[in-house]
Amino acid sequence: MNREQTASGAARSGGASSGTGPMMSRDRRALIEFLLDNLVWIMLAIVLAVFSIAIPNFFQIGIFANIVEQSTFVGVMAIGLAIVIIAGNMDLSVESIAALTAMVTGILFCARGIGLGITLTPEWLVLPVSLLLALVIGGIIGVLNGLLVVRLKMNAFIVTLASYIWVRGLVVAISGGRSAQDLAPSLRFMGIQTFAFIPLIAWLAIACFALFTFVMAKTPFGRHVTMIGGNPVAPFRAGIKVDRLVLITFVLAGAIAGVAGWLLAIRTSGATANLGVGMLFNAFAAVVIGGVSLKGGIGRLPGVYAGVLLLSSIHTAINLMGLPAHYTQMILGALVLAAVLIDTVKLQIRQTLA
């Protein structure tokens, strides 16, 4: 991690200070830097172009809107996951947290199945109340994870793996394995109404990406979190409250995963005990494909969103081609490997540029 960050940083500072390399003009170097920084977006553009040409019925606004909509849940989940990873930790509990908040939303605000059909006056209050509830539930589990990691110095992988298991168990326990459906119309409209062909829930996901991209890139919090992921000792010596920031990243990951679950309940008009199963691995794949280093300290959220869109595009292409779903898994695995390989190549190119 340190080596990579240093190399990357050196490449950037080298480009800025010296202005010219022995073999390369400033413009050419800038172009290469730009391409490296946005590689995943370029890959996405190529993939979409190829699919549009090769797959019947792919090239239409509805399919592109579907891809954006399908990216909503994994995308939102991946935001929190990416922040924790950039901070040098790991959070395996996001999928189960999403399932829990989806189930709680379903139980409270669905009219059928195990839903209690709670209504509020005025009716629109259901929207902020359920969202707040999802944020709070996710945040509480995030606090638990964070405290165990920060205060007791337990390994984040193990702590969040345990949460992944017990939170999913809690979903089964509170639902009794049953499902809730027929979500309150004041929530469902978020999944049905569209703006510019895209459902409101997908706009919410885009807004989340925009917000946290700003937070990570333009605020001291984001810069400090990235620094901590690169090398926690240096920020600590510089007076940055490392433990507090790490705790906040876990709380954020939990709360954002809570939102992902809330969105999932809206999309499926309820919740089942197995809702969201398998999304953790897609979120991880998106984070890695998006250029976030699993070692921490490196990564940008727009890249993660591009990674999510790339995965959704592939899923959609496979759906339209009628290929057996096993191919999705194979392609996904190959894509993650390719992303890591490309990351390594990027590092080497940057070292050369430096």
Partner 1 sequence: MKRLLSGVMGALAIAVVALATPAWAESKGKIYYLVPTLLDEFQTESVAAIEKFLKDVGYEPVTLNADNKTDLQQSQMNDVINLKPKAIVLAAVDFNALQPSIEKARAAGIPVMIFDRQITSTAVDFTSVAGTVEIGHVAAGEIQRLLKEKNGAVKGKVLQVLGDPADPYTLDIQKGFEERMKEFADVKIISLPAMQWEASNAGTIVADQLLANPDIDLIFVHAAHLAVAAVASMEAKGKKPGDVLLVSSNGAPVGLDLIRKGWEQVEVEQPLYAQAAAIGMFADKVANKQEIKPGKYQVLGLESELTIESWGPNLKIPGAAITKDNVDESRFWGNLKAPAEPVTPVE
The CA radius of gyration of the chain, in Å to the nearest whole number, is 21
Gap between the Cα atoms of 166 and 145, Å rounded:
12
User: Does position 174 bind partner 1 by CB under 8 A?
Assistant: no
Interaction of residue 286 with partner 1, rule CB under 8 A: no
| Lookup result for tokens 């779903």 | 325
Which residue's structure tokens are 């326990």?
173
Report the distance separating Cα 257 and Cα 76, nearest Å: 7
* Helix or strand holding residue 257 (H, E): helix 242-268
Closer of 38 and 328 to partner 1 (Cβ): 328
Does position 161 bind partner 1 by CB under 8 A?
no
Q: Tell me how far, at minimum, the Cβ of 33 lies from partner 1, in Å.
A: 36
Q: Name the one range near partner 1 by CB under 8 A: 133-141, 216-224, 294-302, 320-328.
A: 320-328
277 binds partner 1 (CB under 8 A): yes
Peptide bond into 122 cis (omega under 30): yes
Task: For residues 192 and 148, give the distance between their C-alpha atoms in angstroms, rounded to a whole number.
Answer: 40
- Stretch near partner 1 under the rule CB under 8 A, chosen from 39-47, 57-65, 139-147, 225-233: 57-65
Stretch that binds partner 1, among 51-59, 117-125, 149-157, 338-346 (CB under 8 A): 51-59
Determine if 53 is a binding residue for partner 1 (CB under 8 A).
Answer: no
Buried b (16+ CB within 10 A) or exposed e, 139-150: bebbbbbbbbbb
- Contacts of partner 1 in 187-216 (CB under 8 A): 188, 191-192, 199
State the DSSP string of 263-306: HHHHHHTEE-TTTTTTHHHHHHHHHHHTT--TTSS---HHHHHH
Which of 69, 80, 198, 305 forms a contact with partner 1 (CB under 8 A)? 69
Q: Which token pair is 200?
A: 């409101």
φ, ψ for residue 212, nearest 5 deg: -75, -20
Q: Which two tokens stand for residue 163?
A: 């949460």
Is residue 70 near partner 1 by the rule CB under 8 A? Answer: yes
Of 17, 23, 53, 57, the residue at the interface with partner 1 (CB under 8 A) is 57
47 lies in the site for partner 1, by CB under 8 A: no
Find the part of the chain contacting partner 1 (CB under 8 A) among 69-77, 144-152, 245-253, 296-304: 69-77
342 binds partner 1 (CB under 8 A): no
Q: Which is nearer to partner 1, 152 or 325 (CB)?
A: 325
Write out the two tokens for 231. Answer: 């090398």
**In the complex, which residues of this chain contact partner 1 (CB under 8 A)?**
56-58, 60, 62-63, 66, 69-70, 73, 112-113, 172, 176-179, 181-182, 188, 191-192, 199, 264, 267-270, 272-278, 315-316, 319-320, 322, 324-326, 328-329
